[in-house]
A and B are shown apart, each in its own frame.
Chain A
Amino acid sequence: METNAFLDQLQQQTEVVLDLAIRQWQLIPPQDLAQVPEPGRWSAAQCLAHLNVYGNFYLPAIEKGILQGQKTGSSPARIFQSGFLGAYFTKIMQPDSKTKMKSPANAVPSTIVDPVQTLAQFIDQQERLLTLIDQARTVNLNQVRIPISIAPWILLKLGDTFGFYTAHQLRHVQQAERALMG
């Protein structure tokens, strides 16, 4: 895929998520964000808290990767080509993927999260992600490698990290939307 088109698409998708959080979620009473639709399901705030856990890992990792890339003279490639593992992770993370997944224990949010603070952190992370997508235009998405959270010895291409990170995000943003509908 053309690198610029790929990054444009990521940016647009992130804008949509951020816009939803700013225009709608911010104005919802906090107790509604924390409302569990039924026992065993996550509240919207829990969905966002889950995403925040990954943001806390991936956003600094991506930032570090880009800085490293800039320092070592990485320059943008015209085409971004998904790696084998990266393409697989991105595929199974898509919201419409048939693959069921269980979140790792350390990423299962507590039932008592502060909805206001959780949403504020989520919004901060979207702003930061947009900045990083922009900075990624200065490096080669095929060359810069980012570890994955569950197995830091596995390194994925920066483009793939962006790909599955945003797919995972979309999955739980849609889940949050469903939780708000009850």
Chain B
Amino acid sequence: MENFTIQFTLFPMSITNARDYFLRTWPQLPEEILQDLAGIFHPHSAKRKTILTAEGEVEKYLYLVLEGVQRAYAIGEDGREATLIFTYALSFSGVADSFLLQRPSRYWFETLTPSQFLRASFQDFDAVLCQHPRLERVLRLAICETLEGVLVRQIEVQSYTAEQRFRTLMQRSPHLLQLIPHKYIANYLGMDATNFSKLLGQIRI
């Protein structure tokens, strides 16, 4: 059983190159595979509030976040935004389903703060997976974890009260409070600004 962790994994030391990241994430991978995988990731930076993938576009890249916060959000027919997920260092980012299936994205992906990434194109990603079947397995397990995260979030959205959702997020990602405008967090939690402010006041005391 290959051992790995992926989403929301915060390493104590800062990571600036892909090889170090993959070495820590999948220490069991042989050096050759690590090198080939790391080789397809290239630096990319984006200013605050840059749309990296628009609805209807096919996601070209798999991102690894080195710095900054990003979000994926859908825009409803009434024009209202629904924030689906936040990403930050060190996790994968981008529109995962659009990337893996190479189908048009149903939602948007943007930076919320100035951001640094390493990113790989789909062509390179596909090629390195074909070359190293062992990576397919590692990737399958990683996607399982992501799927688990999505389903857990689904439970939160459907069966938690607003206050429970707030407390869960504060346990998982309290640092978001001082990194991004609170309207995005309130939106992710499905509450209005006034309610969010009240709950924030409670934990402040």
Contacts and interface: CB of A to CB of B under 8 A. Distances in A.
Contact of A127 (B48, B182, B193, B204): B48
B192 to A, nearest CB: 11
Interface stretch (B89-97, B125-133, B173-181): B173-181
Interface stretch (A20-28, A105-113, A156-164): A20-28
A15 B181 CA distance: 13
A30 B178 contact: no
Contact of B49 (A116, A120, A127): A127
Interface string B120-144: 0000000000000000000000000
Given A116-B194, A117-B193, A124 B183 contact: yes
Contacts of B114: 15
A23 B48 contact: no
A134 B49 CA distance: 11
B42 interface: no
Interface in A125-176: 127, 130-131, 134
Nearest to B185: A26
- Classify chain A: how many residues form its interface, as a range: 10 to 19
Nearest to B196: A116
A56 B51 CA distance: 24
B201 interface: yes
A102 to B, nearest CB: 32
Main secondary structure of the interface of A (DSSP, over half): helix
Interface string B184-197: 00000000011001
Contact of A22 (B47, B178, B197): B178
B48 A15 contact: yes
Contacts of A11: 47
Nearest to A128: B49
Contacts of B182: 26, 120
B193 A22 contact: no
Nearest to A116: B197
B179 A22 contact: yes
A30 B201 contact: yes
Contacts of B178: 22-24, 26-27
Nearest to B194: A116
A22 B179 CA distance: 6
A46 B61 CA distance: 44
A179 interface: no
Contacts of B49: 127, 130-131
A98 to B, nearest CB: 34
Interface centre among A11, A24, A27, A116, by most chain B C-beta atoms within 10 angstroms, is A116
B181 A30 contact: no
A120 B48 CA distance: 17
13 contacts: A11-B47, A26-B177, A26-B182, A27-B177, A27-B178, A27-B204, A30-B197, A116-B197, A120-B182, A123-B181, A123-B183, A130-B49, A134-B47
